[in-house]
Structure 1
Amino acid sequence: MSVNESPKPDVDETSEHPVVAICHCHYEEVVDELILILDRLPDGSQVHVTSSNPSVLASFKSGWRRSKVSLDVLATENKGRDVLPFLRVLALLKLPDDIPILKIHGKRSLYSSTGEKWRRDLLNELVPSEAGVQKIVNEFGNSPKLAMIGASGSYVSDLGYWGSNKRQTLKFMRSAGSNPPAAHDLGFYAGTMFWIRSQCANEILSNVDFGQFEKERGQRDGTYAHVLERAIPMTLRAQGWSLREIGDDTELFPHKVRHRKLTYF
């Protein structure tokens, strides 16, 4: 597939546990690391890579070696960080229900001395091994109301993490037909990497206003992408879906993790 083509919309329905991975990468120097991570996906998986950098897409294509895991690449504009490209691919795929989707990206967080460690920790938690991925996939199969799974320790609810996003997050939730939570009910997966059930992702997609994504100016907070980082898990939880982290089969609630502080800043 050329970098200007759209992803293939069909999931391999012959696979017992199909997995779809959507990976955004802005930096060519992270490509090899991401390929190694994605190499842990089981046969029959689909990988869709987005980037505004043609060299990134070319490096993915030249470095890909898995004959039983398909790779499609899509050129995107440098806008909406990793969130807008994820939603663009999701809209093209039109996935049926109950497909586990892995959302990852090649974040570097250059403002932080531990940004590289943050990325690697998230990636290795979410894609630990082929057996580990299968265990995650099975969790979705065994728990019909499970919406999302994040890396251990990535779900945060300290009210300081609202940043400048509270008003727009609550506005999004209202537009999605969810009652806005109490002010202390913030809860989201920091880093915006996670597993999500396909119908949950599609539900969020149906309420996204693509015109709200700002031009890229290196913003660290307050963009529509930051709003959706918070609004996705909060909206799904408000609709009765459950949230989890890797290695813990109990449901996440904001009050349980209020004490957590991210150590990657």
Structure 2
Amino acid sequence: MMAASELPPLIFVHVHYPDIWEEMARDIASAVNVPFGLVLTHCGQSTLAKPDTPYLVDYREIVVQNRGRDVLPFLTALRGDLPPYDIGLKLHTKRSPHRDDGAEWRRFLTRSLLSRGGNGPGPMALQTLRTEPHLGLIAPEGHLLPLQGRLALNEKPMAAMLSALGIFMRTSELHEGRFAASTMFWFRAEALSPFSAAELDPLFENEAAQLDGTAAHAAERLFVKVCESQGFAASSMEALPAIICAGDEQRGMNTLDRDTLRNLTDAAISTAANPFSLPMADFWSRHRRLLRLAHLTYRRVPPPLWRAMRRLVRRYASRHA
């Protein structure tokens, strides 16, 4: 029987925008030069092409409702009929219509996660997860962000989701640590096993163009916490060179422990920049009513006007930080 670490990784992609999938499929075919499986979730809106690569060894499609953004489809897939796998990659056809740089942001995320390097075949993150068993999740470069200041509307949905997952956490703990912004990441199946075991569908709202405060946003902020609750460390792409180097020095003795992985990650994150992170977290945490008003406004005004309003708020926030 094939060892767990040698099982083909499974790539999960929620395809809400078929035109974006065409580009993403080419990126996957170009970057992944080891056998892998692919699970596409979509709303049945069109025929989707498979990546043109000889390394695709398993392919499945799951038709889902347009609910829960990319998160509920991912959780639905986790509970589905899947081939054996130990390591997964979660992607989605992110468009971010409320931002001017949505396409650039998506390409940065996917190409960061698919980047090659290290000492073996396949993406660098896959190699690292295969050699470091205490590592459970890897976020894109610059996207393992602090939770503090980013929970203005998310405390209640996070608490409800933790309760459904059977994980106890004090309210103060919700604000501690980091989360994988964008909900794209590599992961170890065992690290996210509570999500595949729980029935979370009733928590997810119908789609109404919400900007924050939904079950999908709660899950985004909990993937890392659940990973850590299962005994694993979370990291991000900018920390992998240091982790690989430290692991090579340890090879033949022990794998890196969780504390070492955390320390290496903290050191790398402290010098990394995220060109797509908006410096608004503290502002929104101080002005929750204004954030709720922003949500209502977003659903009722034309996109060009909304983008202009966002630019004004950003300028105000930067001046009053």
Question: Considering the TM-score relative to the shorter chain, is it more than 0.5?
Answer: yes
Aligned to 1:66: 53
The answer to whether the 8 A contact 2:147-2:179 is kept is no
- What RMSD over aligned residues (CA atoms) do the two structures have, in Å? 3.0
The answer to whether the 8 A contact 1:17-1:137 is kept is no
* Letter of the structure 2 residue corresponding to residue 109 of structure 1: S
Q: TM-score w.r.t. structure 2 length?
A: 0.68
Aligned to 1:114: 101
* Per-residue deviation, residues 197-225 of structure 1 (Å, max 9, x unmatched): 01122222223421111111111111111
1:18 to 8, 14, 36: 8
> Hey, which bits of structure 1, 4+ residues long, moved more than 6 A?
11-15, 259-262
**Secondary structure of the structure 2 residue equivalent to 1:59:** coil
Q: Matched residue pairs, number?
A: 249
Q: 1:136 to 1:93 in 2, by over 3 A?
A: farther
Say whether residues 1:179 and 2:141 are aligned partners. no
The answer to whether the 8 A contact 1:25-1:31 is kept is yes
Aligned to 2:23: 33
* Letter of the structure 2 residue corresponding to residue 219 of structure 1: Q
Q: TM-score w.r.t. structure 1 length?
A: 0.82
2:110 to 120, 123, 128: 123
Equivalent-residue separation in structure 1 for 2:27 and 2:217 (angstroms): 25
Q: 1:132 to 1:156 in 2, by over 3 A?
A: farther
* Letter of the structure 2 residue corresponding to residue 237 of structure 1: E
Say whether residues 1:104 and 2:91 are aligned partners. yes
What are structure 1's unaligned runs of at least 5 residues?
1-10
1:164 to 136, 140, 153: 153
Residue correspondence of structure 1 range 1-265 to structure 2 within 5 A = 16-39=6-29, 40-55=31-46, 58-61=47-50, 64-69=51-56, 70-93=58-81, 99-129=86-116, 133-157=122-146, 159-174=148-163, 175-180=165-170, 182=173, 184-248=175-239, 249=243, 250-251=261-262, 252=265, 263=276
Question: Which structure would you say has the larger Rg?
Answer: 2
Q: CA deviation at 1:129?
A: 3.9
Equivalent-residue separation in structure 1 for 2:147 and 2:274 (angstroms): 7
Q: CA deviation at 1:263?
A: 2.8
Q: CA deviation at 1:17?
A: 4.6
Equivalent-residue separation in structure 2 for 1:238 and 1:92 (angstroms): 23
The answer to whether the 8 A contact 2:136-2:233 is kept is yes
Equivalent-residue separation in structure 2 for 1:158 and 1:68 (angstroms): 37
**Secondary structure of the structure 1 residue equivalent to 2:88:** strand
Q: 1:12 to 1:93 in 2, by over 3 A?
A: farther
**Secondary structure of the structure 2 residue equivalent to 1:92:** coil
Equivalent-residue separation in structure 2 for 1:49 and 1:12 (angstroms): 25
Equivalent-residue separation in structure 2 for 1:193 and 1:34 (angstroms): 13
Q: Percent identity?
A: 24
What are structure 2's unaligned runs of at least 5 residues?
244-260, 279-321
